[in-house]
Structure 1
């Protein structure tokens, strides 16, 4: 199942370790994981990293409305053509994404919605320009902005992002990180809830979270068997299976999507979502 793993840009040994691991994409983070006094050194580490093509690397730059973000864009934007793209924090306008696309031609952009304003403009952000390849939530910042206490307060925001991505023709979004990295049971429960809401895969902040995400997002044997029954009944119009399930074209489409998820290798990122 799709997985992403964050690694701090100012710690090249951790980046190398992440790249040697099973994550589908390693997000080299210049933003939250790097202290202000280390931003310049971290940027230089990323420039060195991108001296060769890095198809499994995605770079999270700083907010481009800040001097740090502008410096990131100048130094790194032209180097990202051989990567999995740029993760754009604090996305709040289509114009801002178009500015980034001009500075990084041919690079996939992955905006994160992290504020009430960004959430209200989610569809505009998702359709800002052809470079936008996915849209997601930055839930820690969004939770602070909205003043909600826990995941239950983010239910509408999560559904909003799923709908915006679908309406824009983008892949299903990945869940935001689960910050209590030692709480693997809580992570698994959160992933199952996210999968039920329409998310596909999740970002992690610790390697120990990756197998939990994989397991929670991978269809079960029972789900696969049920989907195969549905697909086998395709083409017969609207029919009822022996167990009482009603099958029509919409149900068949959903079953085929589940089987495609089940067939995807561990860590693999669907085309267009990296």
Structure 2
């Protein structure tokens, strides 16, 4: 049975070392919470952050928000303890940083099984290294292997810029080949993909433009660094009323008995193929899932 779609329009990073932020997250109108043990936490605060995230996730109170814990890499002094904590706390997913190849995900999946993790605990992969860009197709293919648990890519554009020495410029022209490669790899693997962060969180216009770009590229949503970015993000990645109405209309028409064997029909002066109806079903499902969260 296919799992119901979950809106992943917005995914807000929250530092695990900030107890007040972890509590505030329970009140934010965000689809996903990325509770961070990695980049946002200084080395001397790692253990405190781990304890605070463990307590917060175990206590619950996050409602319909998808809760994801970003652990430190398994090659760091903190990675294994982070993973053990996450298994006990039981979030929706674990976000693995700096994934370079399928073996990185397979190792984490194996450790999850060893520690008795529920199979409902999924893996998300940070795509943020040159190796990941070269191996994107193979990493994405892990989404077809239920043992690996992969359900989402997260673009780490800041780290990718650092590692490649590419410049993060308005329009992201130099990033586009990597971003679209990862979109294709995610779709081939049957998983979701979230766009990278926009650093200038006071630049509302620039942020809205980048959200629109991500939606045009086929991203499912965007990672955020500040709560003020949530509303614009939702506006860009939510189906419009017109899109939902059109999707419902063409599906209703294709469902008529006289159209059962047709691959294309005319609707309001436009030729519409059955594939458009299938695309519309996803639009409707996402719209219904968003409405259910309200």
Question: Scaled by the length of structure 2, what TM-score is found?
Answer: 0.82
Is 2:274 aligned against 1:254? no
Is 2:221 aligned against 1:210? no
Could you list the runs of 5+ residues in structure 2 that have no partner in the other structure?
Answer: 1-6
User: What CA distance in whole angstroms lies between the structure 1 residues aligned with 2:241 and 2:36?
Assistant: 36
Q: Does the CA-based 8 Å contact 2:125-2:150 persist in structure 1? A: yes
Task: Name 1:33's counterpart in structure 2.
Answer: 40
Task: Name 2:127's counterpart in structure 1.
Answer: 113
User: What CA distance in whole angstroms lies between the structure 2 residues aligned with 1:12 and 1:266?
Assistant: 30
User: What CA distance in whole angstroms lies between the structure 2 residues aligned with 1:193 and 1:53?
Assistant: 34
Higher strand share: 2
Bigger mean CA deviation after superposition, 193-202 or 10-19: 193-202
Is 2:91 aligned against 1:83? yes
Alignment of 1:119-158 (within 5 A): 119-128=133-142, 129-130=145-146, 131-149=149-167, 150=169, 151-158=172-179
Task: Name 2:25's counterpart in structure 1.
Answer: 18
Task: Name 1:159's counterpart in structure 2.
Answer: 180
Q: How much does 1:184 deviate?
A: 1.7
Q: Does the CA-based 8 Å contact 1:22-1:267 persist in structure 2? A: no
Q: 1:132 to 1:169 in 2, by over 3 A?
A: same
Bigger mean CA deviation after superposition, 182-191 or 255-264: 255-264
Task: Name 1:72's counterpart in structure 2.
Answer: 82
Task: Name 2:4's counterpart in structure 1.
Answer: none
Alignment of 1:213-228 (within 5 A): 213-228=233-248
Q: How much does 1:262 deviate?
A: 2.6
SS at match of 2:181: helix
Q: Does the CA-based 8 Å contact 1:136-1:161 persist in structure 2? A: no
User: What CA distance in whole angstroms lies between the structure 2 residues aligned with 1:138 and 1:188?
Assistant: 19
Alignment of 1:235-246 (within 5 A): 235=259, 236-243=262-269, 245-246=270-271
Q: 1:233 to 1:148 in 2, by over 3 A?
A: farther
Task: Name 1:271's counterpart in structure 2.
Answer: none
Q: How much does 1:47 deviate?
A: 2.8
Bigger mean CA deviation after superposition, 149-158 or 119-128: 119-128
Number of matched pairs: 264
User: What CA distance in whole angstroms lies between the structure 2 residues aligned with 1:101 and 1:162?
Assistant: 23
Q: How much does 1:226 deviate?
A: 3.3
User: What CA distance in whole angstroms lies between the structure 2 residues aligned with 1:58 and 1:39?
Assistant: 17
Q: How much does 1:168 deviate?
A: 1.2
User: What CA distance in whole angstroms lies between the structure 2 residues aligned with 1:166 and 1:177?
Assistant: 21
Q: How much does 1:53 deviate?
A: 5.0
Q: How much does 1:247 deviate?
A: 1.0
RCO higher in structure (CA 8 A, sep ≥6): 1
User: What CA distance in whole angstroms lies between the structure 2 residues aligned with 1:96 and 1:126?
Assistant: 12
User: What CA distance in whole angstroms lies between the structure 1 residues aligned with 2:284 and 2:209?
Assistant: 22
Q: Does the CA-based 8 Å contact 2:33-2:67 persist in structure 1? A: yes
